[in-house]
């Protein structure tokens, strides 16, 4: 399946999301920015298990169509690297990060977008997104992530 920009109302499901992540230059560009901000490598694979997690996060963000996801990525592209850098520095403790840091699979920007948007909405929304991703025990302070997301958003010139 080829996902073209001309098909903006395509619902997000496993097939459409895989094609979007693998083919959309916007996703590749932001994935690279996010991986660099975290300080990890980006690998060009999207295992089914990772795709399933990305799909859960996209669904939890209430972005039902690829157009919605593309628009959100476009809108927040300038903010995501700063958000991630601050989370690495202030939220995700060294103890909660795996060692050695594992490379990121394709679509890491979708996960980080989910955390960022959830952070703007507050603590409960962050927990909901993480649970959608399969995280039940959060090894870092959720309120710190909320504060970082809001600070990044407020400091970005509109």
* Residue 5 confidence (pLDDT): 45
Residues of the chain with pLDDT under 50: 2, 4-7
Q: Determine, yes or no, domain membership for 99.
A: yes
Q: Determine, yes or no, domain membership for 2.
A: no
* Residue 158 confidence (pLDDT): 57
d(CA 114, CA 117): 5
Q: Determine, yes or no, domain membership for 8.
A: no
Cα radius of gyration (the chain): 15
* Residue 96 confidence (pLDDT): 59
Q: Determine, yes or no, domain membership for 9.
A: no
Q: Determine, yes or no, domain membership for 63.
A: yes
* Residue 50 confidence (pLDDT): 93
Contacts of residue 16, Cβ cutoff 8 Å, sequence gap at least 6: 1, 3, 10, 66
* Residue 30 confidence (pLDDT): 98
How far is Cα of residue 142 from the mean position of the Cα atoms in its chain? 16
CA dihedral 13→7→23→158, nearest 10 degrees, is: -100
- Which residues form the domain of 38? 14-155
First and final CA of the chain: distance in angstroms? Answer: 36
Q: What DSSP character marks residue 94?
A: G
Q: Determine, yes or no, domain membership for 7.
A: no
Number of domains in the chain: 1
* Residue 102 confidence (pLDDT): 83
Q: Determine, yes or no, domain membership for 77.
A: yes
* Residue 9 confidence (pLDDT): 78
Distances in Å between the alpha carbon of 122 and those of 9, 66, 91, 107, 117? 28, 24, 15, 23, 9
């Amino acid at each position: 399946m080829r996902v073209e920009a001309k098909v903006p109302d395509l619902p997000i499901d496993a097939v459409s999301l895989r094609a979007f992540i693998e083919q959309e230059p916007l996703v590749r560009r932001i994935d690279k920015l996010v991986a660099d901000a975290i300080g990890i490598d980006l690998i060009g694979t999207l295992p089914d298990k990772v795709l399933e997690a990305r799909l859960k996060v996209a669904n939890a963000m209430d972005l039902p169509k690829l157009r919605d996801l593309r628009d959100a990525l476009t809108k927040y592209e300038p903010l995501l690297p700063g958000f991630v850098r601050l989370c690495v520095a202030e939220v995700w403790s060294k103890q909660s990060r795996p060692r050695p840091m594992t490379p990121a699979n394709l679509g890491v920007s979708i996960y980080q977008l989910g955390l960022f948007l959830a952070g703007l909405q507050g603590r409960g929304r962050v927990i909901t997104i993480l649970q959608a991703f399969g995280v039940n025990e959060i090894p870092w302070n959720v309120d710190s992530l909320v504060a970082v997301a809001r600070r990044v958003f407020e400091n970005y010139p509109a």
